[in-house]
Amino acid sequence: MQGDLGWFGLEWDEVVLQSRQDERHRAALDRLAAAGRLYRCDCSRSKIKAHGVRGADGGWVYPNTCRAQVVGGDWRSVTGVIRARLDDARLALADESGLDLSQTPATALGDPVVRRRDGAVAYNLAVVVDDADLGVTRVVRGRDIALSTATQVALQRLLGLPQPSYRHHLLFLEENRAKLAKLHGAVGARQLRARYSAAELCGVIAAAAGLSEHATATSPRELLSGFAWRKVRVADQILRLTGTDLVWVGAAASATGVERG
Ligand SMILES: [Zn+2]
């Protein structure tokens, strides 16, 4: 992916591999354990599903069933899933774009998994620890992640970490409303690189995003000088692969874009 991003003309200051943050992630789990926040969850997917409550993200809400199974400093010896007990309070939260992300994450989605069954630290905790370690003060990301923000802020508060500001932007979708992403096998980077130069592709994307009137060749660096968030379309946009051409169709009918990828 770094290769594709570099080809496209995106630049970065530093590459930090999440796997190298292991020690810091474990230290965060130690802190949560010391605060009595970690518990062992034995619930199967089907048990959680049987509870029958859908979250706003389309997934099944975890009903915090196992909260009594508190694990302490010996969390490393626990096999299986470990969750963190969040406060049951509502978090008032809005991102820079004005998107209201207020939520009671403990009940809206359920206490988050912080260590997965396979022993890996789960996304919500990893991203919170990494952002703090790297001194990230501003997070810009797709709207598909928006509903996780309250959970992440709740974890930041438990860990006493600073809260970055957030902004969530539109998504490019394919017409079946799944995300237009390599992840879904919709359009691969290799396919696009075979058809377009980086400047041409950047032009197509810039026009679809609202940053330029026509799909004229450009680069991220060129777009920077005239960049303003007010130019960026709010509604999710549909792109279609016609033959080898990536064609911008227009705005998606409703701006959901929050289904989990
Ligand atoms: Zn459970």
In this prediction the pTM is 0.89
Q: How far does the centroid of ligand 1 lie from the alpha carbon of residue 44, in Å? A: 8
Those residues whose beta carbon sits under 5 angstroms from the ion ligand 1 are 41, 43, 65-66
pLDDT at 244: 85
pLDDT at 125: 97
**Model confidence at 253: pLDDT above 80:** no
pLDDT tens figures, 193-243: 999 999 999 999 999 999 999 999 999 999 999 999 999 999 988 888 888
Q: How far does the centroid of ligand 1 lie from the alpha carbon of residue 7, in Å? A: 44
CATH T-level assignment (fold) for domain 18-169: Rossmann fold (3.40.50)
pLDDT tens figures, 138-190: 999 999 889 999 999 999 999 999 999 999 999 888 876 555 553 345 677 88
Q: Where are the domains of the chain?
A: 18-169, 171-251
Identify the weakest region by mean pLDDT among 58-62, 83-87, 99-103.
Answer: 58-62
Q: How far does the centroid of ligand 1 lie from the alpha carbon of residue 48, in Å? A: 8
Cα gap 73→83, rounded to integer Å:
14
CA-closest candidate to residue 246, choices 177, 176, 180:
180
Q: How far does the centroid of ligand 1 lie from the alpha carbon of residue 62, in Å? A: 7
Structure-token match 């692969």, residue found: 241
pLDDT at 260: 36
